[in-house]
Amino acid sequence: MTYAAFLASLQQVHPPQEAGLALQALWWGRKGNWQQAHEHAQSSNGAGCAWVHAYLHRKEGDQWNAEYWYRRARQPVCSLPEDAEWEQIVQALLRA
């Protein structure tokens, strides 16, 4: 899947199934459905889901919890604007 295709999928009712749990969590988060976003991010112990979980907590203003999840994801704590971080994570997960 390309970044453009992932962005276009945001016009749909459900995330693309082939995207995987971490990308689906980002998709739900972008749509404003925090419950679905967290459920998808917590559905796997993988580094990608941990990174998304960190982003979600950062966006919610829960910096302490975000830092914990950045460590679990083996990623540095992000200081980019939230939209830039979202794009960075999507791009990285699409390459993985």
pTM recorded for the entire structure: 0.94
Please name the amino acid found at residue 61.
G
The b-or-e profile of 63-82 (16+ CB within 10 A means b, else e) is eeebeebbebbebeebeeee
pLDDT-derived band of residue 95, with 50, 70 and 90 as boundaries?
Answer: very high
Residue-number span of the structural domain to which 24 is assigned: 3-95
Separation between Cα atoms, residue 20 and residue 81, nearest integer Å: 24
Distance CA 96, CA 84 (A): 18
pLDDT in tens, 21-79: 999 999 999 999 999 999 999 999 899 999 999 999 999 999 999 999 999 999 999 99
What is the tally of structural domains in the chain?
Answer: 1
